[in-house]
Chain A
Amino acid sequence: MADEKERLALLQETDLFRTLPAEALAAVAAKCEEGQAAEGTALLVEGKPADALFVVASGAVDYIKKVEEKRGLMLFRWERGDVFGLNSVMEGKENYVSAVAASPVTYLKLPVVDFWAVGSEDPLYEHRLFRQTLLIQSARLRQITVRLREFLAKIIK
């Protein structure tokens, strides 16, 4: 992802940023840092404060909830165009899950302060980011509730 065009193309693929106008998207692209991670690398650590949100450019990242000392349950898998770390950034709290590279991964990382700067630039940008955030969260909440039901059904049976 050496050039700006590729960064913009990736951001346009994301549910979070795709409704932003071109100038706002360009500002986001300029603030993003590129990164690579080997399989097994933790990009977010459960219990640690969130300092950025991530966009997957290639590879896969798993959201893992720790359930025992050395065991975690996979709640979600993120691939190209998926954004993760969003909830903790929104809340300004610690991560409640870990994000671990399930393969070699390349990604864009947007520091928290730069994410909020986009919204404070213009109420319309903020509005669009909030609306998209809600749609993403709502879909994920439905997914995670399905997992919860599966566990509940296991216990009851």
Chain B
Amino acid sequence: MIDRDDLRRIRLFQGFSDPELDMVRVVAEEGMFEDGRLIIREGSPGERLYMIASGKVSITTEIAGAGTEEIKLMEAGDFFGEMSLLESLSVSASAFARGPCRLLWIDRKSFDRLIAEDMPIANKLLKAIILTFCERSRDTAKKIESYYRMSKF
């Protein structure tokens, strides 16, 4: 079973008590991914919420006429794949291991059960995802600003 300390380092679970972390430990799984391995493919159905225990993950997207571009480099403690779980939509970007990395994940069924069964856990999880979304929106707006400036050269 996954160590509590591994979960505590994930931003999603900061502030979780030991019993709350134990509920997550029961449903979370883990695996090693070697450098360059595809973790999720843009356009595929999202089935897992991934969390980075160690290593780095490159989030990429296909730009028409230009090929694959990295839009974000995620590090230990970050998580991804939650958007498609929440909306039941396809994955909006691909994820590749950048160097060897250890990932933890929760599948859709277990995620839905966690959210449905325990309101305090659900609200903590949702709040953590909301704050991450806020940060991503802020970052994306900043990137648009810098891309705009670059497009002027």
Question: Which residues of A pack against B, CB within 8 Å?
Answer: 65-67, 73, 75, 87-88, 90-91, 93, 96-97, 123-124, 126-127, 130-131, 133-135, 137-142, 144-145, 147-149, 151-157
Select which of B64, B69, B140 is within 8 A of A144 by beta carbon: B140
Size class of the contact patch on chain B: 35 or more
Tell yes or no: B87 within 8 A of A by CB: yes
Measured in the bound complex, the distance between the Cα atoms of B151 and A137 in whole Å is 27
Measured in the bound complex, the distance between the Cα atoms of B89 and A155 in whole Å is 29
Select which of A65, A66, A127, A151 is within 8 A of B123 by beta carbon: A127
**A130 near B123: Cβ-Cβ < 8 Å:** yes
**A148 near B144: Cβ-Cβ < 8 Å:** yes
Select which of B92, B126, B136 is within 8 A of A127 by beta carbon: B126
A75-B123 CB under 8 A given contacts A153-B66, A155-B151: no
Measured in the bound complex, the distance between the Cα atoms of B147 and A155 in whole Å is 7
Measured in the bound complex, the distance between the Cα atoms of B92 and A65 in whole Å is 23
Measured in the bound complex, the distance between the Cα atoms of B130 and A156 in whole Å is 32
Tell yes or no: B45 within 8 A of A by CB: no
Complex contacts, B14 vs chain A, CB 8 Å: none
